[in-house]
Amino acid sequence: MAKGVKRYFGTDGIRGRVGQYPATAEFVLKLGWAVGRVLAPECGGKVLIGKDTRISGYMFESALEAGLSAAGCDVLLTGPMPTPGIAYLTRTLHACAGIVVSASHNPYYDNGIKFFGADGNKLPDELEARIEAALDEDLETVDPARLGKAERVADAAGRYIEFCKSTIPHSVDLRGLKLVVDCANGASYHVAPSVFDELGAEVVEIGVEPDGININAGCGSTDPAALQAAVREHGADLGIALDGDGDRAILVDAEGDLVDGDELLYILARFRKERGMLGGAVVGTVMSNLGLEHALRACEIDFHRTPVGDRYIMEMLLERGWTLGGESSGHIICLDRSRSGDGIVTALQVLWAMRETGRALRDLRAGMTKYPQCMINVRVARNGGPPEVPARVGEAVRAAEARLDGRGRVLLRPSGTEPLIRVMVEGSDAGEVERLARELAGVVETALGAA
């Protein structure tokens, strides 16, 4: 294996279709043991495990518990808990690591394993490499007297609810606001409605009846149509759509229109700057809308881009001492409030801005105009790694950029989880953007051999 190339870990842990390697009970048991083998000698071996609501979570939670116990690690179990809740509880319960069994916004038949270190941040590459190396060793169970024990964290939900409420000033009162909260039948179903209710809002709950299979199905941030309809039906002031593991939020204004992550980032950046709370530049990704960059520039706010993935946003924020970043998907990091992307916390920050300014969500986002964007996924033959881009594709990209003539941008990006090349074109003219995207997708499909 080439230096620096990981076999199992992607940008957000390990993920796959349940029953297909590595998303198997056998592999996850060995993974739990490998994690314990690496971490136990350094931290005393107490590991927190949470999960979302997909049915395979029972199997993988048990497999991780068995593997960790075999390595001599004690296990704390929370049951269903949003990913940011595990990041928070890992720190406050002084665990040496936190593990989340979740495939985030994916369908129920996928699942994955995410990791947090003792500080609540995602594991560094060095630790992931050591865990992968341990997976090559034979599984050896510690002496029976040293086997790890497991216990339930009885007040996990209550602890996390109080944390979320603490991320806005005590003076912020949500009384008089009607909110529709869509929990995607996922990990937030038993905590998110309580947060907003305890802060005084009238809450209409949807997506709060998980059955193990309906997570993200026709609901949540990846399919917000039901939320938009509910906001209009109930005459609500705001709709909040979370994803399956609760680390993303997409909002809906009182008219039922979507407000995505780029617009949320603009709202929060402007609000924070006006009150002297911004703390440096704002961080987005290569996929962030060009309209966000231009709107922030008009507010005299610097904007920087990273590769796609919240871990890269987090790395830049930590490295440069900044506090605010996020992705178009609604994965927003307010580093002065939470150590990870958190859908509930994001919604609370926006509600704070609404209450503080006395302005509706629609008015708060009015200063940003999104550029038309077209993205086409081209499925290519899988050859064991990211496909190399032939010269003729590069020439086609340069030609498209020349036609945009500074009025937009072009991006080709291999998917980190599927055999796809994502072709994205963005610009001021929607028709031109779509034509260029389709032309480029055709060139990529011909050059790389569509699967």
Helix (H) or strand (E) holding 343: helix 343-357
Rounded to whole angstroms, how far apart are CA atoms 81 and 188? 7
Q: Residue 293, by phi and psi: left (phi above 0), alpha (psi -120 to 50) or beta?
A: alpha
Rounded to whole angstroms, how far apart are CA atoms 423 and 434? 11
Tokens of 11: 């940008």
CA proximity to 72, closest of 150, 129, 151: 150
Rounded to whole angstroms, how far apart are CA atoms 299 and 14? 39
Residue 147's CB is within 10 A of a number of other CB atoms, namely 15
Catalytic positions, written as ranges? 104
Rounded to whole angstroms, how far apart are CA atoms 416 and 377? 13
How crowded is the C-beta side of 246, counted as CA atoms within 13 Å?
32
Task: Give the contacts of 278 (CB within 8 A, at least 6 positions apart).
Answer: 269, 272, 301, 323, 324
- Determine the distance from the C-alpha atom of residue 443 to the mean position of all C-alpha atoms in its chain, rounded to a whole number: 31
Rounded to whole angstroms, how far apart are CA atoms 323 and 314? 9
Sheet with 178-182, edge to edge strand ranges: 202-206, 178-182, 238-242, 249-252, 258-259
74 neighbors 148 (Cβ within 8 angstroms)? yes
Please name every residue paired with 300 in a beta bridge, in sequence order, or none if there are none.
none
| Phi, psi (rounded to 5 degrees) for 412 | -115, 125
Cis? peptide before 22, omega within 30° of 0: yes
Is the Cα torsion angle 356, 360, 366, 369 positive or negative in sign?
positive
Rounded to whole angstroms, how far apart are CA atoms 82 and 12? 15
Ranges of H-type helices in 8-150:
25-43, 56-70, 83-92, 125-134
